[in-house]
């Protein structure tokens, strides 16, 4: 069984509006990643920061449109950034591993999802793509990675100590780094959409 966690708890301050529900070419941005996950994943956990936002997303996301089981959950610990969203998601998955994505990632491909899951081997706790062989950790993409739910106690402890940087997780666990080679995994899949001007690529 394969799971995915979609992080939608950010404040979107730089964009000025909620990114997951932002309409891009006639549909909310989050629906791009939800469609890509179709027939690749068995369950998807959408993590949002409160019940009001959950109600908003449930208005435009119909679980029956997708091949997988879809669940909306509220962030367990508020105002702690994406590390809390990953924790919440891992506590709600039914499988051993989950691939994590931000809600504002319309570019990820099925091929990358397959490639990362194929890298899972015994004892591996994370599969993390990276850009530069000279510095794997610094150029890694921890919000586009696979995590084992057995790291939940570690994340709990990091949050308790207010150590909220995601890369603080992957440097403490058994991580398999996978190069973003622009062949199996394309660099454009990790493009950030943080500001209104970033949306011009869709024009």
Binding-site annotation, residues: 7-9, 19, 75, 104
111-147 residues labelled b (16+ CB within 10 A) or e (exposed): ebbebbeeebeeeebbbbbbbeeeebeeebbbbbbbb
Residue-wise DSSP of 87-103: HHHHHH-SSSEEEEEET
Nearest residue to 169 via CA among 184, 181, 156: 156
Q: Could you tell me which residues are annotated as the binding site for GTP?
A: 7-9, 19, 75, 104
DSSP state of 140: B
HSE, CB side, 13 Å, CA atoms: give it for residue 81.
Answer: 11
Q: How far apart are CA 141 and CA 116, in angstroms?
A: 12
Distance of CA 180 to the CA centre of its chain: 17
Q: How far apart are alpha carbons 12 and 195 in whole angstroms?
A: 9
Which positions make up the binding site for Mg(2+)?
104
| CA gap 169, 67 in Å, rounded | 31
Rounded CA-CA distance 169/155 in Å is 7
């Amino acid at each position: 069984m394969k799971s995915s966690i979609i992080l939608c708890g950010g404040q979107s301050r730089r964009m000025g509006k909620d990114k997951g529900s932002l309409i891009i070419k006639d549909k909310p941005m989050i629906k791009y990643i939800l469609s890509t996950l179709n027939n690749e994943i068995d369950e998807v956990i959408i993590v949002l920061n409160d019940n009001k936002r959950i109600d908003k997303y449930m208005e435009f996301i119909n679980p029956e449109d997708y091949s997988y089981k879809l669940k909306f959950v509220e962030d367990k610990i508020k105002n702690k950034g994406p590390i809390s969203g990953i924790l919440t998601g891992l506590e709600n998955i039914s499988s051993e591993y989950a691939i994590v994505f931000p809600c504002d990632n319309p570019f990820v491909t099925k091929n990358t999802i397959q490639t990362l899951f194929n890298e899972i081997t015994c004892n591996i706790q994370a599969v993390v793509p990276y850009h530069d062989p000279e510095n794997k950790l610094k150029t890694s993409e921890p919000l586009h990675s696979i995590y084992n739910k057995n790291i939940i106690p570690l994340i709990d402890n990091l949050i308790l100590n207010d150590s909220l940087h995601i890369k603080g997780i992957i440097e403490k666990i058994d991580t398999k780094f996978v190069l973003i080679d622009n062949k199996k995994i394309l660099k454009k899949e990790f493009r950030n959409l943080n500001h209104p001007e970033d949306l011009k690529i869709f024009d």
